[in-house]
Amino acid sequence: MAFTYRFANEKDLPSIVEIENEAMSCPWSLKSYEEAISSDHSFIMVAEDDGQIAAFSVFYLTPPEAELPDIVVDEKYRGQGLGRQLLTKSLEELETRGIDTIFLEVRVSNTPARRLYESFGFEEIGVRKYFYSNPVEDAICMKFERTI
């Protein structure tokens, strides 16, 4: 399957929110995505399959650092390497913006995501106790540092 990658726009928000609501136990609000799209200090990248949003990533930028608070693959597209492709495209975009350090938190129980991040060179730097709710769970804090 050939996906296309681009920055999200206002018309994408209903699809993004729907994917988020289906995938996350504590989903972001529409307002959070509206703020991310309209800010000069963040971007949302989407992966499309024939005009349909299949996945998205959100990054907050504080050059030379960024934070990855949200990356979600629609359930029907999971297991096809799309998360890896989207993260690759997102990291390429961050590099063009002079970002060389990226931080994120991931649920302790989210083994597939943790493996994905580790495969890109993210390293565990700490734990945030009881960070997530529904269910309450610790977060693994991870950091990626681009080597020159």
In this predicted structure, the answer to whether residue 98 has a pLDDT above a threshold of 80 is yes
Cα separation, 57 vs 41, in Å, equals 14
Q: Would you state the pLDDT for residue 148?
A: 65
Residue type, 107: R
pTM, to two decimals? 0.93
In this predicted structure, the answer to whether residue 45 has a pLDDT above a threshold of 80 is yes
Q: Would you state the pLDDT for residue 18?
A: 96
- Domain locations along the chain: 4-145
The third-level CATH classification (topology) of the domain covering 4-145 is Aminopeptidase (3.40.630)
CA 111 to chain centre: 15
Cα separation, 140 vs 148, in Å, equals 26
Cα separation, 121 vs 53, in Å, equals 27
> Which positions are catalytic?
105, 117
Residue 143 corresponds to which tokens in the numbers above?
């950091």
75 DSSP 8-state letter: G
pLDDT tens digits, residue range 17-42? 999 999 988 899 999 999 999 999 99
